[in-house]
Amino acid sequence: MEQAAAEVKIESSWKEALADEFSAGYFASLKQFLLEERKQHVIYPPGKAIFAAFNHTPFSEVKVVIVGQDPYHGAGQANGLCFSVSPGVKIPPSLQNIFKEISSDIGAGMPAQGDLSAWARQGVLLLNATLTVRAASPASHQGKGWEQFTDRVIRLLSEKREGLIFLLWGRPAQLKEKLIDTQRHFVLKAAHPSPLSAYNGFFGCRHFSQTNKILLNQGKTPINWSLT
């Protein structure tokens, strides 16, 4: 099992923090599942991008956590950061709504591209609950072990860090609140930015200005949410 853990390519501070997960039986089963899936199906994101959220945002640098669900399941969309797409890819509807709320909240312009890696480099962990998906098949990799892994990520951040801000949009994300010590951290909840629910409480949530106010109150550098 130690050899299996050593094979995982992930940023060093996360590799150390998550060593027990990489050595666990469920993670070995998950790796085997993904190997079998790749023999028959196209999997997103590409292998090198599966842990992109961690590689962009080391453990000690996390300030904000945004929890998503599945990676995008269309060709070329998923890049390992929740809600994000690579430059040149059409901006998905949920991300368009995120940008609309940012514009309304802090006055930023609407970006022409949807790559959120600039947020990740500032300490925003863009974490999907499930880190892979079969092409054109949403939720196809749920219940295979990823949730156990990403729940542990949230628990570790809750236990080892102080004053983080968790943005939980939609019911699946809000169920993660039970993993978070709300005496030590901040939790902001709203509807999911999907067109199906954005008007039920995502628009007008002002999470982006609220986040920066909390960061400033802690003496931390606020996030530059503008991508224009």
| 165 SS3 class | strand
Q: Provide the β-strand partners of residue 165.
A: 64, 186
C-alpha span between 184 and 23 (Å, rounded): 29
Determine the Cα–Cα distance for residues 66 and 83; give it in Å rounded to an integer: 9
Give the torsion sign (CA, 83, 89, 92, 95).
positive
- Which residue in 20, 70, 115, 151 is the catalytic one? 70
Has 70 been annotated as catalytic?
Answer: yes
Which residues belong to the active site? Answer: 70
